[in-house]
Amino acid sequence: MNKFVALDFETANRSRVSACSIGMVKIDGQLMTEEFYTLINPETYFSEGNIRVHGITYDDTKQSPIFSEVFPYMMDFIGNYPVVAHNARFDMNVLYHSLLKYELDIPEMTYFDSVLLARQTIKNDSYSLDNLMRYYNITFNNHHNALADAKACAMITYRLLQSYSSLDDYLNLNKKYLHRLKY
């Protein structure tokens, strides 16, 4: 049975230590069983470009918890599930550098990338989140809302994994695409 957590961060600016929101969904077999979303006070400035992308501003986050306060809830949510992110390099760098910024222990966490999974599994002109949602004929609203993007990543990953006997089968066949957060 496929079990994983899809994760997405949005950032206040180009810095990887400026997480301003996180969304996660838990997939257990065929069901999306739980979701987690919160704004995060990044304790830094918001660039106009990032605000245009996700619509989150300083005023939205100034009363929100900082990353170090959110992280324990994230880890409780993830548990021992593998994590998937669409363009995982970005999201896992945000996580990793935020942990360093707040001097938090780096957890052992298995993760993989839904973009790479898609490239290995289907032929498409583009592997962006919105294009893959169109490929699977799934309605996609609120692009760049962390929870909406995590849900989209989960739906895409679930469909892509139908080409394999299980997530474990895919990960065993593609060990070079399986990563651990602990460096």
Burial class (CB in 10 A: 0-12, 13-18, 19+), 87: middle
The domain total for the chain is: 1
- Alpha-carbon gap, residue 136 to 163, rounded angstroms: 14
Strand partners, 110: 180
Tell me the C-alpha distance between 179 and 89, whole Å. Answer: 10
pLDDT in tens, 48-69: 999 999 999 999 999 999 999 9
Residue 183 has pLDDT above 70, yes or no: no
Question: For the domain that residue 93 is a member of, what is the CATH number?
Answer: 3.30.420.10
Average pLDDT over residues 38-47: 98
Average pLDDT over residues 16-25: 98
Structural domain boundaries, residue 120: 3-180
Q: What is the model's pLDDT at position 174?
A: 82
pLDDT, one tens digit per residue, over 91-125 is: 999 999 999 999 999 999 999 999 999 999 999 99
Tell me the average pLDDT across 163-167. Answer: 93
